[in-house]
């Protein structure tokens, strides 16, 4: 979801939402006239904070936004002139901020609370896109990892991979042997992802996340997943320490996230959570599932090998056909 | 292989300072059966041979028979595993290995063999001798409908496509220590000699089919898929430098399997190859009967409908 800040005095209030600190979410700034131009051009889901002190202009703006689809709006009362904020909520506001609010907790957390509120009480899920699917002015990384900076938000093909049968394997194997065997699988994932400019970002026990930077055009991640499954039998025979064929599930989504080089497992990202949920709760053992957002960027020839299998968290999900053994 | 005097001296020192004459003789008998130092050196049976003389005699003999590297392989084995329960340390082994590396040979520990290092990839692995017989495993690849493709597409497209296929074939085979013995317009022959040759050849066949599948999806310039037939068979064959001129029953049988029993995009193994595969690899292949009632084993890439 795009987050917009609209004010009559942009320069003065530009950092109001972020309190001058660097925000992990991108905020776009417009005056009211520019905002209307933006709204005419696109139909994306937006959360717009209006900081308009003129009651007439604010009234017109609210009237205008209320008629638009996919728009959620909130009011910033930087001068404390509105006595009864609840009036805004009665006509559709989703947030109200006056000058007493401090942002020590960080703006991102507030936005997440708002989004949770929207998901729970408003028609959020049926609207167009969520904030991870933004085609906004987020940085689209070039394909090279060296250009990706820590703490910045980028678009990635986020790929969750998990070896199936954890409980069973833990019963049968000693810890050190199991660690070594899982290590061979991790190396296989690392080796194949490297061929497609991907990197294992997190790995913990039986599962991990591989990231592929997306430059807006060239897509490699889908082919990575395809290859990972196609050449699995070679891995099974030559490298794997498991006596049987390994089974693993993969979930892939295209979304935005803040890149932290040394992730210690404290993931604060709806996109990452959503990929984890897709992998853990929806994807069946041995399957490779991909959200529609990522599927759209697959090469056409690869798409033929995927079949639509339903929806999860309001996204259409596709599954790679299975290879017969 | 040109053996330097320095290397010879190191081996003489290794033999004479690590082993007595009787033990030297016993070790050489592993590569030259019934080898007798008295007989070879001319020393009468009742006169003991000085260790230095014995060592020089052995060096001369193994060099003449092209078994110099085999002798070093035996010395490494003795150093590692001893002889009949006795631990024997062979001196100067590090220096010997360093000299041999200078000749572009590397000791492959799992195989217990010297093979040429990665800077050279000869058809003989640097160890086969002209005219001698060995056991090999061969893989044959053949482009399906070659004449039709050549007729339909321009020379440039065909050259590019066939060169790509050769690159795939060669890289996958050499990755598993195989060698491409010949490549003609519509296919080629790969050979495997080192240990696990059947497993390596079968794996190469599987990987080539899968790699070709990816190639057809993404890189192929033809308006259709490039299809191949592949067969793997093992058996004895002589080795000569001009590998195109090698003809024997093993290669004839391979050709017969490929032309008569292999469908497009299939890999077929003979029974001798299949029987060497481990559990997981064997599971990728399905048996089918030939006209004579014997079995062959087929792999093909199949997707769910």
Kindly report, residue by residue over B199-239, the tens digit of the pLDDT. 999 999 999 999 999 999 888 989 999 999 999 999 999 99
H or E element, residue A63: helix A55-66
Residue B194 or residue A150, greater confidence: B194
Check which CATH number belongs to the domain holding A84 and give it: 3.40.50.2300
Residues spanned by the domain of B102: 5-116
Q: Is residue B121 part of a domain?
A: no
The residues facing A315 across adjacent strands are: A312
Say what the pLDDT of residue B143 is: 96
Which residues in chain A (241-280) have CB-CB distances under 8 A to chain B? 243-245
> What integer pLDDT is reported at residue A25 of this predicted model?
62
ipTM of the complex: 0.81
Task: Decide which of B255 and A123 is more confident.
Answer: B255
CATH at B284: 3.30.70.1230
Give the pLDDT confidence of A190-218 residue by residue, as tens digits.
999 998 889 999 898 899 999 998 877 66
Q: Which residue has the tokens 């063999």?
A: B113
- What distance in Å separates the CA atoms of residue A306 and residue A240, rounded to the nearest whole number? 27
Select from A78, A98, A133 the last residue of a domain: A133
Mean pLDDT of A146-165: 88
Structural domain contains residue B122: no
Q: Tell me, yes or no, whether A173 and A115 share the same domain.
A: no
What mean pLDDT do residues B146-165 have? 93
Last residue of a domain, one of A75, A110, A133: A133
Q: Is A300 on the interface with B (CB under 8 A)?
A: no
Please report whether residue B125 resides in a domain: no
- Sheet-wide strand order for A2-7: A27-30, A2-7, A46-51, A71-77, A95-98
CA B188 from chain centre, in angstroms, equals 16
> Order of strands across the sheet with A306-312?
A199-204, A207-213, A153-163, A248-258, A288-291, A315-320, A306-312
User: So what's the pLDDT on residue B112?
Assistant: 87
Q: Does A127 or A202 have the greater pLDDT score?
A: A202
Residue in B279, B281, B304 closest to A324 by CB:
B304
Q: Which residues contact A244 (CB under 8 A, 6 or more apart)?
A: B280
Domain edge (last residue) among B116, B147, B170: B116
Contact of A10 with chain B, judged by CB distance below 8 Å, is answered with no
Chosen domain end from A113, A133, A153:
A133
CA distance B41 to A256: 81
Average pLDDT over residues A225-253: 94
Please write the tens of the pLDDT for every residue from B61-94.
999 998 999 999 999 999 999 988 889 999 999 9
Band (pLDDT 50/70/90 cuts) for residue A112 is confident
Q: How far is it, in rounded angstroms, from Cα A111 to Cα A114?
A: 5
Q: Which has the higher per-residue pLDDT, A89 or A109?
A: A89
Structure tokens at A202: 């997190």
Residues A158, A91 share a domain = no
Give the residue-averaged pLDDT of A62-91: 82
The answer to whether the CB atoms of A233 and B303 lie below 8 A apart is: no
| Least trusted range by pLDDT, from A124-133, A179-188, A261-270 | A124-133
Instruction: Please indicate whether, in this complex, the C-beta atoms of B203 and A236 are within 8 angstroms of each other.
Output: no
Per the prediction, chain A carries an average pLDDT of: 81
Q: Are residues A218 and A302 in the same domain?
A: yes
Cα distance from N-terminal residue to C-terminal residue, chain A: 43
Q: Supply A241's token pair.
A: 């320490």
CATH number at residue A153: 3.30.70.1230
Same-domain check for residues A92 and A33:
yes
Question: Do B140 and B284 belong together in one domain?
Answer: yes
In a domain? residue A231: yes
| One domain, residues A194 and A297 | yes
Asked whether the whole model's pTM tops 0.95, one would answer: no
Measured CA to CA, the distance from residue A169 to residue A6 in angstroms comes to 56
The two tokens of residue A149 are 């900076």
Domain count, chain A: 2
Of B213, B283, B303, the CB nearest to A321: B303
The residue range of the domain holding A44 is 2-133
Number of independent structural domains in chain B? 2
- The alpha-carbon gap from A252 to the nearest alpha carbon of chain B, in Å, equals 20
Residues in A closer than 8 angstroms to B284, CB to CB, are 233, 325
């Amino acid at each position: 979801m795009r987050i917009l800040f609209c004010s009559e005095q942009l320069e003065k209030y530009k950092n109001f939402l972020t309190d001058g600190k660097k925000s992990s979410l991108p905020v776009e700034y417009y005056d009211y006239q520019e905002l209307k131009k933006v709204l005419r051009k696109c139909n994306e889901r937006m959360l717009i904070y209006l900081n308009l002190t003129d009651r007439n202009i604010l009234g017109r703006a609210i009237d205008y936004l209320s008629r638009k689809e996919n728009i959620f709006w909130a009011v910033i009362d930087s001068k404390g002139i509105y006595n009864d904020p609840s009036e805004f909520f009665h006509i559709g506001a989703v947030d109200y901020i006056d000058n007493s609010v401090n942002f020590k907790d960080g703006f991102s957390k507030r936005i997440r609370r708002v989004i949770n509120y929207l998901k729970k009480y408003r028609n959020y899920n049926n609207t167009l896109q969520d904030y991870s699917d933004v085609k906004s002015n987020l940085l689209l990384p070039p394909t090279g990892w060296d250009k990706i900076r820590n703490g910045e938000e980028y678009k990635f093909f986020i790929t969750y991979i998990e070896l199936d049968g954890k409980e069973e394997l833990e019963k049968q194997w000693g810890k050190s042997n199991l660690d070594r065997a899982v290590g061979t699988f991790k190396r296989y994932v690392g080796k194949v992802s490297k061929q497609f400019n991907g990197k294992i970002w997190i790995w913990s026990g039986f599962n991990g996340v591989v990231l592929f930077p997306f430059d807006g055009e060239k897509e490699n991640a889908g082919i990575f997943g395809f290859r990972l499954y196609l050449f699995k039998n070679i891995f099974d025979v030559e490298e794997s320490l498991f006596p049987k064929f390994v089974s693993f599930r993969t979930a892939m989504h295209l979304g935005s996230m803040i890149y932290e080089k040394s992730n210690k497992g404290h993931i604060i990202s709806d996109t990452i959570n959503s990929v984890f949920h897709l992998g853990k709760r929806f994807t069946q053992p041995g399957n490779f599932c991909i959200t529609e957002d990522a599927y759209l960027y697959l090469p056409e020839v690869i798409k033929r090998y995927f079949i639509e299998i339903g929806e999860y968290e309001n996204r259409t999900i596709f599954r790679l056909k299975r290879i017969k053994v | 292989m040109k053996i330097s005097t320095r290397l010879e001296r190191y081996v003489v020192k290794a033999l004479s300072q690590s082993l007595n004459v009787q033990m030297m003789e016993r070790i050489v008998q592993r590569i030259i059966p019934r080898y007798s130092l008295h007989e070879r050196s001319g020393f009468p049976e009742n006169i003991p041979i000085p260790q230095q003389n014995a060592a020089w005699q052995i060096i001369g003999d193994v060099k003449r028979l092209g078994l110099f590297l085999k002798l070093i392989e035996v010395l490494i084995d003795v150093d590692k595993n001893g002889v009949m329960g006795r631990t024997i340390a062979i001196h100067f082994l590090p220096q010997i290995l360093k000299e041999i590396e200078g000749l572009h040979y590397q000791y492959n520990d799992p195989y217990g063999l010297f093979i040429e290092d990665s800077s050279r990839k000869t058809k003989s692995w640097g160890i086969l001798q002209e005219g001698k017989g060995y056991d090999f495993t061969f893989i044959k690849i053949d482009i399906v409908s070659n004449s039709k493709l050549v007729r339909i597409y321009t020379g440039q497209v065909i050259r590019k496509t066939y060169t790509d296929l050769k690159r795939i074939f060669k890289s996958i085979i050499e990755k598993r220590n195989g060698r491409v013995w010949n490549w003609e317009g519509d296919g080629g022959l790969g050979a495997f000699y080192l240990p696990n040759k059947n497993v390596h050849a079968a794996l190469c066949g599987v990987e080539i089919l899968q790699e070709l599948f990816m190639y057809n999806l993404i890189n192929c310039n033809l308006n259709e898929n490039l299809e191949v037939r592949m067969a793997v068979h093992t058996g004895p064959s002589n080795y000569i430098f001009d590998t195109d001129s090698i003809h024997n029953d093993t290669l004839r049988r391979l050709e017969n399997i490929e032309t008569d029993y292999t469908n497009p995009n299939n890999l077929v193994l003979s029974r001798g190859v299949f029987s060497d595969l481990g559990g997981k690899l064997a599971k990728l292949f399905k048996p089918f009967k030939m006209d004579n009632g014997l079995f062959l084993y087929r792999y093909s890439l199949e997707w769910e409908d």
